[in-house]
Amino acid sequence: MKIAVIQGPNLNMLGVREQQIYGPMKLEQIHAQMKEFATQNNVEIEFFQSNLEGEIVDKIQECYGEVQGMIINAAAYTHTSIAIRDAISAVNLPTVEVHISNINRREDFRKENMIAPVCTSSIVGFGPFGYHLAMMGMLQILQEIQASQQMQAQAEATATE
């Protein structure tokens, strides 16, 4: 099982930018915690961060057929990017959206969320812990999909007997 973690613009500045909103943790620390959790659960994980919308779209498209699920913090592109929304929709993978701050309690422009409707779920406002919640949620989603596929295969095998 493999999960891609895709990080959007300015997340490479975590630990430096607006600590009162995003906290003191650096992105590398968040990724280290996620990697540890993934290792404990026998899950392969890969990380990607870009400040460029097109690179994020390319990465989402590269996930098709390569990973079983995605965790994404599209950051500011959450509120503006139809291209990222369309890429998530196109690959049709379980996708958990994460936001460190509660975007619903911030500036009005942050309340417009272009990607939530095409994501499996959203986790907002838990700080860096939201990534851990996203990992837990993604594992549950993937286990449910796997169990459903096994039940369907058994039902098909029984029907052909």
Q: Hey, which residues are catalytic here?
A: 22, 99
How far is 112 from 106, CA to CA, in rounded Å? Answer: 11
Strand locations in 61-133 (E): 69-73, 95-99, 121-124
How far is 36 from 41, CA to CA, in rounded Å? Answer: 9
The total of other beta-carbon atoms located within 10 Å of residue 34's CB is 21
Give the containing element (helix H, strand E) for 5.
strand 2-7
CA atoms within 13 A on the CB side of 137: 19
